[in-house]
Amino acid sequence: MAYDAVLADRVRELLAAERGVSEKAMFGGLAFLIDGNMSVAVSSQGGLMVRLAPEDIGRLLGREHVEPMIMAGRPIRGWLRVGSDGVRTKRQLSAWVDRCVEFTKRLPPK
């Protein structure tokens, strides 16, 4: 399954004012990087893969439409999956994208 191009455009629009943003096709989806660090990705399974501060994962995991990011049968530290229903509105989507950007900007550039 291909990623949701409309969702990718919505993320792109939210990131338009950010410096250092690039895009890269990854895992069948589309990743958005900031200064070379993956920040958020439109998933080929629907919804988003979001990169967050590890200390925030437990608190956010309890939210509706949010689950651990699993790859090769293992949870990926610092990442969550947000289902399509959790990013339907601009407010929902921008809250997740803003969190990702805030965390990723704290990382050293690659």
Q: What's the CATH code of the domain at 37?
A: 3.90.1150.30
The candidate with the shortest Cα–Cα distance to 101, out of 65, 63, 50, is 50
Residue 37 lies in a domain: yes
1, 27, 47 from 103: Cα distances, Å: 29, 22, 19
pLDDT in tens, 80-98: 999 999 999 999 999 999 9
Token digits of residue 52? 């967050």
pLDDT in tens, 71-83: 899 999 999 999 9
- Write down the mean pLDDT value for the chain: 96
* % of the chain at pLDDT higher than 90: 93
Task: Judge contact between 87 and 41, C-beta under 8 A.
Answer: no
Q: State the pTM of this model.
A: 0.94
Give the residue carrying structure tokens 């950010």: 18
Q: At what angle do helices 90-104 and 5-15 cross, to 10 degrees?
A: 60
Residue 47 lies in a domain: yes
Domain count, the chain: 1
Q: Residues 8-33: what's their mean pLDDT?
A: 96
